[in-house]
Amino acid sequence: MLSNLLLLLPLVATPCQVSPPCLERAHAHNDYLHKRPLIDALEKGFTSVEADVFSVGDKLLVAHSALELLSPRTLEALYLDPLEKLAAARAGKLRPDGKPLWLLVDIKNDPEKTWELLRIRLEARPGLFCRWEKGKRINGPVWVVVSGSVPRKAILEAEPRLASVDGRLADLGKKTDPEAIPWISDAWSGQFRWRGNGLIPKADQEKMREMVRQAQAEGKQLRFWGAPDNAPGWQAQRDAGVHRLGTDKLADLAEFLKPQQ
């Protein structure tokens, strides 16, 4: 039974050699569900990828729900090891423009324990990840942002700090450090009733533009989860200036973004 299940799982990522133009807005939502986690996104120019993690014993397993947990699908196998190999093969550059690749790690259970397991893994690869020493960023090929059930104090008060945290709309206006909370992410359904059919109402579009203005004024990037994952949804967000467009349809979003970014 397990062998049959494994045949249905995404393949473990293997290093790619393709360096397409960066799609600055492109975010691979639930990236681990694709045939080749990480690699499919990188080969299409995505600049951020998302992985949900559960702590199980001393492992970090990547899955959308606890019912999908399987021991071979570790964060190391799907992301950390391939990222380290790619960075070594590309002289420390995962993006052609040399900027860090965003890795959004969404904690799904036991926040303190899961973060501690993640911290150990980040600490073990000092040259791979951005870190902050006495408030000063030391760049690496990957910038980790922790989302989901976030133990903010443990992450943000550490010295050195090894990751940033994913904010919410409620964080706007609080003058938080944009490197500590570089992203503002929230549920589309909690803000808008439009579901991607026809034109977005003007009131919704203006509301979204105002959110973008607020986030941008504070040096943060805005992202919605659960937004309409189709061309009208992407267009509405791009027109409003939303910084990160999450998708499960990598090829379609890549094609949509190429003409204008």
In a domain, 138, yes or no: yes
Q: What are the tokens at 47?
A: 């600049």
The percentage of the chain sitting over the pLDDT mark of 70, rounded to a whole number, equals: 92
Q: Are 129 and 137 in contact (CB under 8 A)?
A: no
Q: Is 46 exposed, middle or buried (0-12, 13-18, 19+ CB in 10 A)?
A: buried
182, part of any domain: yes
Q: pLDDT per residue over 50-104, tens digit each?
A: 999 999 999 999 999 999 999 899 999 999 999 999 999 999 999 989 999 999 9
Report whether pLDDT(25) > 90: yes
Question: Rounded mean pLDDT of 149-162?
Answer: 97
- Give the pLDDT score at 18: 45
Residue 161: inside a domain: yes
Nearest of 38, 34, 32, 105 to residue 70 by alpha carbon: 32
pTM assigned to the model: 0.92
Note the pLDDT of residue 146: 98
Whether 195 is in a domain gets the answer no
pLDDT of the residue at 19: 60
Asked whether the predicted pLDDT for residue 1 surpasses 90, the reply is no
Mean pLDDT along residues 228-239: 98
* pLDDT, position 261: 56
The percent of the chain in helix, strand and coil, each rounded to the nearest 5, is 35, 25, 40
Would you say 147 and 102 are in contact if contact means Cβ atoms under 8 Å apart?
no
What pLDDT sits at residue 21?
81
Which amino acid is it at 89?
Answer: A
User: Which of 89, 41, 80 lies closest to 62, judged by CA?
Assistant: 80
In a domain, 217, yes or no: yes
Query: pLDDT-derived band of residue 20, with 50, 70 and 90 as boundaries?
Result: confident
Q: 8 by DSSP, 3-state: which? A: helix
Q: Does 194 reside within a domain?
A: no
**Residues of the domain holding 31:** 2-169+176-188+200-257
Cis link prior to 178 (omega < 30° from 0)?
no
Q: What is the CATH number of the domain that holds 91?
A: 3.20.20
Q: Is residue 164 part of a domain?
A: yes
- What digits encode the pLDDT tens for the residues 35-55? 999 999 999 999 999 999 999
Q: Across all residues in the chain, what is the average pLDDT?
A: 92
Would 236 be classed as within a structural domain?
yes
